[in-house]
């Protein structure tokens, strides 16, 4: 997330374009282009939505922290996870135990999110 860099659209603008391309009416998408992080996004959304329930769409790996921050801020959110990094398999495979770059990426995301959630709780934000 974050505001646009010079010459580039903001993350919010890109996501709005994607939502519209998928059939969501443009008038139903609120673009918060000037936020810098999840806490900023939650505060801006709380100010805009008030007590109205809102769909919280974010990556599945980011959802626990985003929901905790939103609920602590008093938002009534309906979690709508996307971008799943892992999918359950009916049977484990020997390749599930092999190290590779995608596993390192998932581990990095998990550590980032757990540390972020821990830090937000220490600061009373989640």
Q: What is the pLDDT of residues 58-71, one digit of tens each?
A: 888 889 999 999 99
At residue 25 the predicted structure's pLDDT band, cuts being 50, 70 and 90, is: very high
Q: In whole angstroms, give the CA distance from residue 126 to residue 58.
A: 17
User: Mean of the pLDDT values across residues 25-45?
Assistant: 86
At residue 34 the predicted structure's pLDDT band, cuts being 50, 70 and 90, is: confident
Residue 73 pLDDT > 70, yes or no?
yes
């Amino acid at each position: 997330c974050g505001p646009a860099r010079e010459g580039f659209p903001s993350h919010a603008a890109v996501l709005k374009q994607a939502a519209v391309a998928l059939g969501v009416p443009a008038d139903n998408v609120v673009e918060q282009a000037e936020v810098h992080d999840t806490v900023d996004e939650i505060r801006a959304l709380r100010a805009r939505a008030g007590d109205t329930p809102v769909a919280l769409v974010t990556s599945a790996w980011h959802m626990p922290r985003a929901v905790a921050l939103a609920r602590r801020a008093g938002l009534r959110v309906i979690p709508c996870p996307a971008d799943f990094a892992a999918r359950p398999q009916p049977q484990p495979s020997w390749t599930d135990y092999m190290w590779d770059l995608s596993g390192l990426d998932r581990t990095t995301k998990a550590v980032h999110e757990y540390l972020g959630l821990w830090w937000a709780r220490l600061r009373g934000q989640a």
